[in-house]
Amino acid sequence: MEKIWLSSYIEGTPEFIDNAGYDSLRDLIEENCRKHADKPAYANMGVTLSFADIDRLSAQFAAYLQHELGLAKGERVALMMPNILQYPIALFGVLRAGLVAVNVNPLYTKRELEHQMNDSGAKAIVIVENFASTLSAVIDKTGLEHVITTQIGDMLPGLKRMITNVVVKRVKKMVPEFALPGAATFRQALAGGAGKTIERREITLDDLAFLQYTGGTTGVAKGAMLSHGNLVHNVQQSNAWLGNKLDDTPVIGICALPLYHIFSLEGNCFSLLEQGGLNVLIANPRDFDGFVDELAKYPFSYFTGVNTLFNALLGHPRFASLDFSHLRITIGGGMAVQRAVAEKWHQVTGTPLIQAYGLTETSPAAVINPFTEDLEYTGAIGLPISSTEVAIMDDDGNHLAVGEIGEICIRGPQVMQGYWQRPEETENVMEGDWLRTGDVGRMDEKGFIFIEDRKKDMILVSGFNVYPNEIEDVVVQMQGIIEAAAVGKPDEKSGEIVKLYVFADDPSLDAKAVIAYCRENLTGYKVPKEVVFRDEELPKTNVGKILRRELRDA
């Protein structure tokens, strides 16, 4: 196919990338931790760990997983933590041990956590105590054999660690009661691996590295199988696109999105690892006063986030007074960047807000706008990045011409291996080696991609995918409800909110009760913000499928 987008590449951007000599993520981690040993790697709560610290501590954790827990190559380890220092230590340890990481949203409900543990077949989990009560309620229904708990302040120095953990647990009462007999602590795990040597298991680019869960069309989350090669190549693609934009300033990245999310996992955790950059971990980005305080401490040069995050920061009274003289790159992904937000960001910071596009299934980077200082907002999601091809296809898999609207399809070394134990779902999204994204768009004559609509019914809430089937499956289990349909409704703050239509035979039910039920069974961003009760059955096709689009357009 003709790659018309190449003519729009910034000079020096390669058409192709390779694996840069890395045979696995283990190689990427170990080589760069040693290459940048003396540089700061992660900062959080006033403590900074160097790459040498991360190298040493993750090796201890890897040795513990191998020698103390006896986990075999390819077994799954779940990580259920916010952005704290324990996360990169545990993640790198899992990967160096030849194991597979299963990222878990700490805010998952009991139902969601039970499903993900059973679907992934995870043998072990590392979990922050703040969320351990959820695990405690379902662990007997899972195949988990090992639990490692950690407290928020565990990686802080002595007295500060003790004070922080006491305040979190006793003063702020942020740790509900839980019972996990036999669980080890994270500090015990590190001590247990100290002095032991990691067994050098053979790991190749084709080996599985992550089960990265995303919403399912059948109403349950499914694990995208991301290999070592998928992530190694995506790091090379991202850094090739970055070019020399950070060469004149210390590489300091603001990591406000959770590292368990694919965007910051690749864009911050791994890409800045190769850059030898510092990741400033923001554990609670919703505390905007504290967030701005942290920003004031660092000459940050690299910033990733979603439209809602940038918009909220721009609205903070102290944000505009920060020092932006080192800022070179701001990337917005996960949801559409709005023109007003992009233009205001450029005005306040002096740096364009670059829109990017990707999916969990593409590790995630696939399409990014060029990193140019004079970039103006056009609404384009960008150009296909190095070693990536994008085609606009019709429903029969035919390639459409420039300007024609069809489904955006992607192929490249970052495309997933498939969905874990779901061959039919994999087949539904793969057209040969092309991934069907479910997004409808077009390509212009310069190779820029524009999204016009979504083919699938997915709802995008603050950059997180919400799948209507999952919400509906939960709601119809509520006594008195006969039918339910979830649709997305535009929202200035979060891009979209979940709006729920309900047909019930219990006149005593109201929206408050339905929302309360959803809160018990769904993560917060999936909970409907509006509930509409209908006096008649929901509209359907002649084969009985609910017409969500008709409800959405009502």
User: CA 354 to CA 382: how far, in whole Å?
Assistant: 9
2.30.38.10, 1.10.3720.10, 3.40.50.300, 2.60.120.10: CATH of 387-454: 2.30.38.10
Helix (H, G, I), strand (E, B) or coil at 533: strand
Inter-residue contact 157 to 165 (CB < 8 Å): no
Task: Give the residue with greater pLDDT, 261 vs 1.
Answer: 261
| pLDDT at site 467 | 83
| pLDDT at site 148 | 99
| pLDDT at site 334 | 86
Helix (H, G, I), strand (E, B) or coil at 25: helix
Residue 219 pLDDT grade (very low, low, confident, very high; cuts 50, 70, 90): low
User: CA 537 to CA 479: how far, in whole Å?
Assistant: 17
Q: Which helix (H) or strand (E) holds 343?
A: helix 339-349
Task: Provide mean pLDDT across the span 354-382.
Answer: 95
Range scoring the smallest mean pLDDT among 116-130, 206-220, 477-491: 206-220
Task: Provide mean pLDDT across the span 59-63.
Answer: 98
Contacts for 199 with CB less than 8 Å, ≥ 6 apart: 66, 67, 97, 98
| pLDDT at site 473 | 81
Task: Give the residue with greater pLDDT, 332 vs 217.
Answer: 332
- Terminus-to-terminus CA distance in the chain, angstroms? 41
Inter-residue contact 494 to 308 (CB < 8 Å): yes
pLDDT digits (tens, 9 = 90+) for 164-207: 999 999 999 999 999 999 999 999 999 999 999 999 999 999 99
pLDDT digits (tens, 9 = 90+) for 310-322: 989 999 999 999 9
2.120.10.30, 3.40.190.10, 3.30.470.20, 3.40.50.980: CATH of 47-203: 3.40.50.980
* Residue 255 clears pLDDT 90, i.e. is over it: yes
CA–CA distance from 116 to each of 45, 149, 184, 221 (Å)?
30, 18, 22, 7
Q: For residue 144, give both structure tokens.
A: 């988990």
User: CA 500 to CA 468: how far, in whole Å?
Assistant: 9
pLDDT digits (tens, 9 = 90+) for 334-366: 888 889 899 999 999 999 999 999 999 999 999
* Residue 308 clears pLDDT 90, i.e. is over it: no
Task: Provide mean pLDDT across the span 398-403.
Answer: 97
Task: Provide mean pLDDT across the span 81-98.
Answer: 98
User: CA 366 to CA 408: how far, in whole Å?
Assistant: 11
CA dihedral 182, 185, 190, 194 (to 10 degrees): -40
Model confidence pTM above 0.75 = yes
Residue 543 pLDDT grade (very low, low, confident, very high; cuts 50, 70, 90): low
Residue 59 pLDDT grade (very low, low, confident, very high; cuts 50, 70, 90): very high
pLDDT digits (tens, 9 = 90+) for 110-133: 999 999 999 999 999 999 999 999
Residue 541 pLDDT grade (very low, low, confident, very high; cuts 50, 70, 90): low
Fold of 459-552: GMP Synthetase; Chain A, domain 3 (3.30.300)
| pLDDT at site 545 | 66
| pLDDT at site 216 | 46
User: CA 409 to CA 413: how far, in whole Å?
Assistant: 14
Residue 542 pLDDT grade (very low, low, confident, very high; cuts 50, 70, 90): low
Range scoring the smallest mean pLDDT among 20-24, 41-45, 283-287: 283-287
The domain spans of the chain are: 47-203, 387-454, 459-552
Q: Are strands 184-185 and 252-255 parallel, antiparallel or unpaired?
A: unpaired
